[in-house]
Amino acid sequence: MNVPTIAEMTAAGETPEVLFWVGCLGSFDDRNKRVTKAFVKILNAVGVKFAVLGTEEGCTGDPARRAGNEFLFQMQAMNNIQVMNGYGVKKIVTACPHCFNTIKNEYPELGGNYEVIHHSTFLQQLINEGRVKMQEGGSFKGKKITYHDSCYLGRANGIYEAPREVLEALDADLVEMKRCRTTGLCCGAGGGQMFKEPEPGHKDINIERTEEALATGATTIAVACPFCLTMMNDGVKNKEKEAEVKVKDLAELIAEAQGLK
């Protein structure tokens, strides 16, 4: 795959249009690597001049700060800011709402000021500009899709319409869960919970959320966050519904609809 690093581009005297911030799960988690590849295929197909930091990208520090380790957060953040400022980065796109929220809202106080766009908004812009052309009556026409709002995309940053507009472009039947938009329910992974077992209780949050998604009768659960993808996938497996119901990121759905293999 054609994925240039910003170091290679800079050495060649070129400047990328956007820096694609891959994030930890997009880099290391096997399931989420497929989302990264799907998004890269879309960027290449429409001719967006992008680059990644590669091995120079470190964790944004979001889990550390949420878990209460402010010292580690500031160390991780400052490392990233120094690298990006060194390359003169202006515009960042990421498929992770946690990375999006941290770089957009928390890096400025440490000297990292960038235009940060979540991939749902970026995909919506590409569709609106006609750069991503959707075929009418494509593979998702008439199929029921439900969308799970990520906490850091929805409630934290007020992005509700962009992901839904991307799904509407698929010509699919978008069915909403009872708890959606401003009243959406967390998948259970935020606030550092991704990296630990949940506290004792009668039901895990991701199971509760999966039950709500399955109740819509949708055959696809659309997500726009790597944490949500993992948690909803686990929920569908718990219900033994993985043969009938698929959990997919917006980028995967768009790449699939466009026939980008």
Q: Which tens digits make up the pLDDT trace of 173-183?
A: 899 999 999 99
Residues 65 and 151 reside in one and the same domain = no
End-to-end CA distance of the chain: 11
Domain CATH code at residue 252: 3.40.50
Predicted local distance difference test score (pLDDT) of residue 77: 98
**In this model, does residue 82 exceed pLDDT 60?**
yes
Predicted local distance difference test score (pLDDT) of residue 41: 96
Q: Are 179 and 185 in contact (CB under 8 A)?
A: yes
Residues 107 and 182 reside in one and the same domain = no
Alpha helix positions (H), the chain: 6-11, 24-28, 30-46, 62-66, 70-87, 97-105, 119-128, 161-168, 205-215, 226-238, 250-257
What is the domain range of residue 109?
6-124
Domain boundary among 124, 153, 188: 124
Whether 129 maps to a domain, the answer reads no
Where does the pLDDT of residue 136 fall: very low under 50, low under 70, confident under 90, or very high at 90 and above?
low
Whether 76 maps to a domain, the answer reads yes
- pTM score, whole prediction: 0.93
Residues 85 and 187 reside in one and the same domain = no
* Residues linked to residue 118 through DSSP beta bridges, in sequence order: 94
Please tell me the distance from the alpha carbon of residue 120 to that of residue 64, in angstroms, as a whole number: 25
Domain CATH code at residue 66: 3.40.50.1860
| Mean pLDDT in residue range 60-85 | 96
Residues 154 and 91 reside in one and the same domain = no
**In this model, does residue 143 exceed pLDDT 60?**
yes
Residues 77 and 185 reside in one and the same domain = no
Predicted local distance difference test score (pLDDT) of residue 198: 80
Q: Distance between alpha carbon 261 and the CA centroid of its chain, in Å?
A: 20
Domain boundary among 124, 149, 176: 124
Whether 1 maps to a domain, the answer reads no
Q: Is the C-alpha dihedral spanning 202, 226, 131, 258 positive or negative?
A: negative
Residues 66 and 142 reside in one and the same domain = no
Whether 101 maps to a domain, the answer reads yes
Residues 138 and 251 reside in one and the same domain = yes
Residues 66 and 178 reside in one and the same domain = no
Whether 72 maps to a domain, the answer reads yes
Whether 151 maps to a domain, the answer reads yes
Tell me the pLDDT tens digit for each residue of 199-257. 888 899 999 999 999 999 999 999 999 999 999 999 999 999 999 999 999 999 999 88
Burial 220-236, CB ≥16 within 10 A → b, else e: bbbbbbbbbbbbbbbbb
Predicted local distance difference test score (pLDDT) of residue 138: 67
Which are the contacts of 216, defined by CB distance < 8 A and separation ≥ 6? 144, 146, 175, 176, 177
**In this model, does residue 261 exceed pLDDT 80?**
no
Residues 58 and 90 reside in one and the same domain = yes
Whether 86 maps to a domain, the answer reads yes
Whether 189 maps to a domain, the answer reads yes
Q: Kindly give the pairing relationship between strand 91-94 and strand 18-21.
A: parallel
Residue 192: left if φ>0, alpha if ψ -120 to 50, beta else—which one? left
Domain boundary among 70, 100, 124: 124
Q: Are 188 and 115 in contact (CB under 8 A)?
A: no
Residues 14 and 120 reside in one and the same domain = yes
Residues 120 and 145 reside in one and the same domain = no
Residues 141 and 252 reside in one and the same domain = yes
How many structural domains does the chain have? 2
